[in-house]
Amino acid sequence: MIHYTLKCPDAHVFESWFQSAAAFDSLQAAGHVTCPECGADRVEKAMMAPRIGQGRDARPQEGPSETSPAKEHPLAALKRKIESNSDYVGQSFVSEARAMHEGTAPKRSIYGEARLDEARKLAEDGVPVAPLPFVPTRKSN
């Protein structure tokens, strides 16, 4: 897995994980990497600082104090944002995404579950889909 900081033409900056650098390049070329703020598909890698691990003798960093709240992990923030701004459609994801693409269902932000072959077919058919870097919280009716 590889982690990138990305930005869109409107200067929205966000982070995402990809299976590999080649996977990012392929998804980007196909227009499947989009800005979560504005939906732009002309997303590019932003400048990133390398992560350097601490030596064995380094003292562990102190946890958050009462005056410095814990920062939310970027994936947790992404999951919270997607789950609060999108409809969970579960196993109906493929049919819902295809219906919206074909104009037979109203367009809205959805997330759900699909087999890899089903997701690949959607992408090949031009349906804008992207894998989530987390397991969705399953919601009951």
Q: What is the pTM (predicted TM-score) of this model?
A: 0.50
* Stronger pLDDT, 36 or 55, i.e. the higher one: 36
Got the DSSP string for 69-86? Answer: PPPPPHHHHHHHHHHHHS
pLDDT digits (tens, 9 = 90+) for 58-81: 555 554 444 445 667 788 888 888
- Computed over every residue of the chain, the mean pLDDT equals 81
Q: Do the strands 87-90 and 44-45 form a parallel or antiparallel pair, or are they unpaired? A: unpaired
Q: Reduced to 3 states, what is the DSSP secondary structure of residue 57? A: coil
Is the pLDDT score of 101 beyond 80?
yes
C-alpha distances out from residue 112 to 91, 93, 107, 130, Å: 6, 5, 15, 11
